[in-house]
């Protein structure tokens, strides 16, 4: 029995040993397979990381809140990728060496790399699984300003009709027995204005007020998104007011996500429409009719726009009164006409305007908008600027309630040659801004969501399209109409000068039959994501076209007949990621603006050397772009703006980027290169008006400025200090990320900081300080004197901000200071430097577990020199400091431990969390006359120390 047991035990041991031996032999045998597996998983993780970083950049640009863990995941992913790439490079060198020595059967080498490769795979696979969640959403969107935030409050004190209506609508909204209030009236009568003023009156009586522009066609998905939060709060029983503006047809509220009815009494609806029937169909309680202004009210409003001179000049008043009578009591029309005539001194022009009002109406216009057409047409006719007229008509080609980009208008204007005596693209932008300003002052355009956009009132848009149909221009405008196909009849397009089909679901353009669009100048069909082909027949039909926008479709190839569109001045093919071959574009010799960003192109072909009229060339984020034909860039002599990312997969004998320095007209450059050796040297940067240079890892740019440099490892070789210093000399903003062997930035990277205004440093693990210059410093040297924003994050070795006497440091221009995750940082500002922080407005310090004090006494040199002298009382004033945030500072006991008088005349908000040892703000005197919030709680006159004394305000132990 014992022998059997022993035999079985021996068999198991032998089998175990054999298994282990097979496994070890397998490492050598499968070395190539294991290495390829590692390379594959590395590439997958790299692609995933790039996608997440793209989303990060977009989220940061939009001002959204980044979800916890995203930054850490990206950081760890980059570390995994870097480790894998180093291993693969090492393996390749070893294999190459092995080949040279003819020792390819070296089992030790094969075993080592086979085993190491396969052992590294699980961590890459696991990190991909961990990052799967970030492939979706990585941020919480920051709500944009709504119409209630930006809509101007109108003065209606002398407009009794609107005052009484405002009271009536407000009473209805607040009446507990009425759930839906309907307001109706002709376009331009003031319904939206009344709705916003009601909202302003009652907003404090509701938990939430939501303003939704419905318009036509109804976008149910958009409405659901806009009311999502409101719906949740209604379900909780909170009082919510939802304003549905410009409703054209009956809405089934439950289908657009609005909980309404007897089961949800806390929901209130205020809707506006041009038709009473719509209000009734939606069960509005006794719809309220918005009447036109009386003649006296119309006159009062008109005078407010024109000035009192129409009252004092009897002859002018007589004509002006007739003009007002012809405006039909519509506030929108009265303001538009008034602004058109405001600066008109010639009496005959007033008479001509009156004649136009009385005679210009045409019989073929819908009576419902005839009055709008007549008077807005008058405002349009009185525009002295033809450029403003062109911009006005271009805005009508976008969807209703669309935020129209001024940049896009400038591109279209250049392509259409609407600007006279155009000197530059910057000149074009200025002309667009001037035109939009004129149009806004004439009530023909509205403010957009920000300064870079504008909007058009739906009534004005209808009139603009009517104007276009009756003048030399004729537009076919069908954006956002859910079109899945577009097959116009033969002969139906011959009179059109503009076609807009943007934001639909069109899958193909007309093909298989001849079309003729001889007058077409502009064709807009961006954001039809299934559109993959452009037929030769369609291209041949629009030979005179000057502007084509194909952005964000799914175009895979260009038609051979595209070279016949010889008058094309602006072409946008950006966002067509499958488009690779673009050589045919070299035949379009009139092109001034060409956009190929986010496409799949692999090269800038030699044919592009014929595009000698190009002013703007955008070819950024084309991650397959690895070759630029020699001599092409240098031939683009009129190029003013170049945006390009260059991704060579292997070293080329000739670096075409050096030709950038030969472009004498170049004013703006946006350039990405993975290696600093690819950056084209030269003095050309000094003459540029602006640039953004990224070198190293292609990642989200953390700083936005006019002259920006971003250096990011792991691909950056910091040993090329000569290049770096030359770059920083002409920069105003720098971003340094993941750079090793960098222990300071001054004087290692630059001597005195030159004109740096913004500094952002992340994950530079060897950085000890910003300034390290105890020797050979000129007497008048002042480091950091121009810096306005300083952001330092995740610097594991940072001990102090500067390692030199305080006399060489000046932070008098610093506005924002953000310090995060610097575990060895012990102090921030000395007293002498703090006394110079005259412009500091925001101070944020987080996760600095070694920080002992924010403001410290002078350095040892100063202190020893004052041992036997009487030190005068210290006085510090932060004249503009409005916000202080201290978070997760383990050993911080106070803001300044010394005995001093510190004044904070502008301080409004203080936030202190997880600072367990901080029991007092300071031990001297401090003055905070305007302090309002501590940890988002109103102070009600309490001091910071009084607030800190309350348990709930400080430390994790109390939260």
Give the C-alpha separation, 548 to 585, whole Å: 13
Pair 933, 910: CB distance under 8 Å: yes
Of residues 863 and 313, more confidence is placed in: 313
pLDDT at 914 (0 to 100):
87
Q: Is pLDDT above 50 for 875? A: yes
Share of the chain above pLDDT 70, in %: 84
Q: Residue 521 — pLDDT band, cuts 50, 70, 90? A: very high
Residue 363 in 3-state DSSP? coil
pLDDT at 505 (0 to 100):
94
pLDDT at 597 (0 to 100):
96
Report long-range pairs for 713-718 (Cβ below 8 Å, ≥24 apart): 713/737, 713/738, 713/739, 713/740, 714/78, 714/82, 714/85, 714/738, 715/674, 715/675, 716/675, 716/676, 717/675, 717/676, 717/677, 718/742
Pair 588, 566: CB distance under 8 Å: yes
Burial letters for 110-128: b for 16+ Cβ neighbours within 10 Å, e otherwise?
bbbbbbbbbebbeebeebb
Lowest mean pLDDT among 57-71, 575-589, 724-738: 57-71
Q: Which of 365-369, 406-410, 758-762 has the highest mean pLDDT?
A: 406-410
Q: Residue 133 — pLDDT band, cuts 50, 70, 90? A: confident
Residues 113-142, mean pLDDT to the nearest whole number: 78
Name which of 345, 396, 353 is nearest 378 in CA terms: 353
pLDDT at 872 (0 to 100):
58
Of residues 630 and 94, more confidence is placed in: 630
Q: Residue 952 — pLDDT band, cuts 50, 70, 90? A: very low
Q: Is pLDDT above 90 for 740? A: no
Q: Is pLDDT above 80 for 468? A: yes
pLDDT at 860 (0 to 100):
40
Helices (H) and strands (E) in the chain, counts: 26, 39
pLDDT digits (tens, 9 = 90+) for 901-933: 899 999 999 999 888 888 888 888 888 988 888
pLDDT at 959 (0 to 100):
33
The structure tokens listed for 953 are: 């305000």
Q: Which of 310-314, 704-708, 740-744 has the highest mean pLDDT?
A: 740-744
Residues 380-407, mean pLDDT to the nearest whole number: 90
Lowest mean pLDDT among 113-122, 355-364, 521-530, 717-726: 355-364
Pair 535, 510: CB distance under 8 Å: yes
Average pLDDT of the chain?
Answer: 83
Share of the chain above pLDDT 90, in %: 39
pLDDT at 320 (0 to 100):
80
Residue 597: CB atoms within 10 A of its CB come to 20
Alpha carbon 131 to its chain's center:
24
Q: Is pLDDT above 60 for 367? A: no
Residues 107-129, mean pLDDT to the nearest whole number: 82
Give the C-alpha separation, 162 to 183, whole Å: 12
pLDDT at 363 (0 to 100):
45
Q: What is the 3-state secondary structure (H, E, C) of 29-80?
A: HCHHHHHHHHHHHHHHHHHHHHHHHHHHHHHHHCCCEECCCHHHHHHHHHHH
Residues 235-264, mean pLDDT to the nearest whole number: 90
Residue 324 in 3-state DSSP? helix
Alpha carbon 592 to its chain's center:
25
pLDDT at 869 (0 to 100):
46
Q: Is pLDDT above 80 for 693? A: yes
pLDDT at 456 (0 to 100):
87
The structure tokens listed for 662 are: 């030969």
Q: Residue 751 — pLDDT band, cuts 50, 70, 90? A: low
Q: Is pLDDT above 80 for 569? A: yes
Q: Residue 690 — pLDDT band, cuts 50, 70, 90? A: very high
Q: What is the 3-state secondary structure (H, E, C) of 541-583?
A: HCCCCCEEECCCCCCCCCCHHHHHCCCCCEEECCCCCCCCCCH
Q: Is pLDDT above 80 for 489? A: yes
Of residues 540 and 17, more confidence is placed in: 540
Sign of the torsion angle spanned by Cα atoms 366, 371, 374, 378 = negative
Q: Residue 142 — pLDDT band, cuts 50, 70, 90? A: low
pLDDT digits (tens, 9 = 90+) for 807-819: 888 899 999 999 9
Of residues 325 and 410, more confidence is placed in: 410
Residues 457-478, mean pLDDT to the nearest whole number: 82
pLDDT at 22 (0 to 100):
59
């Amino acid at each position: 029995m014992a022998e059997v047991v022993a035999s079985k035990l021996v068999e198991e041991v032998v089998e175990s040993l054999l298994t282990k031996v097979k496994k070890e032999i397998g490492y050598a045998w499968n070395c190539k397979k294991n290495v390829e597996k590692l390379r594959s998983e590395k590439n997958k993780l790299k692609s995933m990381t790039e996608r997440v970083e793209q989303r990060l950049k977009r989220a940061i640009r939009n001002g959204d809140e980044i979800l916890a863990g995203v930054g850490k995941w990206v950081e760890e992913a980059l570390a995994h990728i870097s480790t894998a790439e180093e291993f693969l490079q090492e393996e390749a060198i070893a294999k190459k060496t092995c080949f040279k020595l003819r020792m390819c059967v070296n089992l030790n080498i094969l075993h080592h790399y086979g085993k190491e490769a396969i052992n590294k795979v699980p961590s890459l696979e696991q990190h991909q699984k961990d990052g799967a969640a970030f492939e979706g959403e990585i941020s919480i969107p920051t709500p944009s300003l709504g119409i209630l935030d930006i809509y101007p409050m109108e003065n209606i004190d002398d407009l009794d009709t609107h005052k009484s209506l405002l009271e009536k609508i407000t009473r209805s909204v607040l009446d507990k027995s009425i759930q839906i209030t309907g307001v109706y009236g002709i376009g331009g009568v003031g319904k939206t204005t009344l709705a916003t003023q009601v909202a302003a009156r009652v907003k404090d009586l509701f938990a939430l007020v939501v303003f939704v522009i419905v318009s036509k066609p109804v976008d149910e998905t958009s409405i659901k998104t806009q009311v999502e939060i409101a719906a949740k709060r209604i379900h909780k029983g909170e009082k919510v007011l939802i304003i549905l503006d410009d409703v054209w047809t009956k809405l089934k509220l439950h289908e657009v996500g609005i909980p309404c009815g007897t089961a949800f009494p806390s929901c209130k609806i205020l809707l506006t429409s041009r038709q009473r029937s719509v209000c009734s169909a939606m069960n509005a309680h006794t719809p309220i009719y918005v009447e036109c202004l009386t003649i006296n009210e119309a006159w009062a409003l008109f005078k407010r726009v024109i000035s009192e001179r129409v009252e004092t000049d009897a002859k002018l008043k007589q004509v002006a009164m007739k003009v007002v009578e012809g405006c039909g009591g519509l506030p929108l029309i009265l303001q538009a006409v008034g602004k058109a005539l405001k600066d008109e001194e010639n009496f005959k022009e007033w008479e001509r305007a009156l004649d136009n009002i009385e005679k210009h109406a045409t019989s073929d216009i819908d009576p419902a908008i005839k009055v709008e057409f007549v008077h807005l047409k008058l405002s349009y006719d009185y525009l002295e600027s033809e450029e403003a007229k062109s911009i006005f008509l271009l805005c009508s080609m976008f969807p209703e309630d669309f935020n129209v980009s001024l940049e896009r208008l400038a591109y279209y204007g250049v392509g259409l040659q609407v600007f006279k005596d155009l000197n530059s693209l910057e000149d074009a932008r200025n002309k667009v801004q001037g035109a939009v300003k004129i149009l806004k002052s004439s009530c023909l355009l509205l403010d957009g969501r920000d300064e870079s956009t504008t909007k058009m009132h739906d009534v004005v848009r209808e009139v603009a399209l009517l104007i276009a149909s009756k003048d030399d221009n004729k537009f076919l405008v069908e954006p956002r109409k859910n079109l899945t196909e577009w097959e116009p009849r033969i002969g139906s397009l011959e009179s059109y000068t503009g076609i807009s089909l943007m934001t639909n679901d069109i899958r193909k353009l007309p093909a298989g039959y001849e079309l003729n669009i001889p007058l077409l100048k502009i064709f807009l069909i961006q954001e039809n994501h299934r559109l993959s082909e452009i037929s030769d027949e369609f291209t041949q039909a629009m030979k005179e076209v000057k502007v084509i926008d194909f952005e964000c479709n799914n175009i895979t190839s260009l038609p051979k007949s595209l070279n016949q569109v010889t008058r094309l001045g602006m072409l946008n093919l950006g966002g067509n990621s499958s488009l690779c071959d673009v050589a045919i574009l070299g035949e379009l010799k009139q092109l001034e603006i060409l956009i190929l960003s986010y496409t799949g192109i692999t090269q800038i072909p030699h044919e592009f050397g014929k595009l000698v009229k190009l002013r703007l060339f955008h070819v950024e984020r084309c991650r397959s772009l690895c070759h630029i034909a020699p001599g092409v860039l240098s031939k683009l002599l009129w190029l003013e703006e170049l945006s390009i990312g260059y991704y060579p997969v292997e070293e080329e004998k000739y670096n075409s980027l050096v030709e950038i320095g030969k472009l004498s007209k170049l004013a703006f450059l946006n350039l990405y290169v993975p290696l600093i050796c690819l950056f084209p040297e030269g003095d050309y940067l000094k003459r540029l008006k602006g640039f953004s240079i990224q070198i190293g890892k292609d990642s989200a740019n953390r700083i936005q400025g006019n002259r920006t440099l971003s250096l990011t490892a792991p691909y950056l070789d910091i040993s090329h200090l000569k290049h770096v210093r030359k770059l920083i000399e002409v920069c105003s903003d720098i971003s340094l990320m993941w750079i090793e062997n960098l222990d300071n930035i001054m004087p290692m990277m630059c001597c005195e900081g030159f004109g740096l205004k913004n500094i952002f440093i992340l994950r530079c693990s060897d950085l000890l300080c910003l300034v390290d210059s105890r020797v050979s410093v000129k007497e008048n040297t002042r480091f950091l004197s121009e810096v306005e924003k300083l952001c330092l994050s995740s610097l594991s070795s940072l001990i102090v901000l500067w390692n030199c006497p305080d006399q060489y440091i000046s932070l008098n221009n610093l506005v924002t200071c953000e310090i995060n995750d610097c575990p060895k940082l012990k102090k921030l500002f000395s007293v002498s430097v703090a006394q110079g922080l005259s412009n500091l407005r925001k101070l944020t310090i987080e996760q600095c577990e070694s920080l002992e004090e924010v403001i410290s006494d002078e350095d040892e040199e100063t202190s020893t020199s004052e041992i036997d002298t009487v030190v005068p009382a210290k006085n510090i004033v932060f004249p503009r400091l409005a916000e202080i945030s201290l978070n997760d500072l383990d050993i911080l006991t106070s803001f300044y431990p010394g005995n001093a008088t510190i004044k904070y005349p502008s301080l409004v908000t203080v936030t202190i969390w997880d600072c367990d040892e901080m029991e007092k703000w300071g031990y001297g005197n401090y003055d905070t006359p305007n302090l309002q919030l501590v940890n988002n709680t109103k102070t009600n006159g309490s001091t910071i120390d009084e607030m800190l004394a309350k348990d709930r305000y400080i430390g994790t132990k109390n939260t």
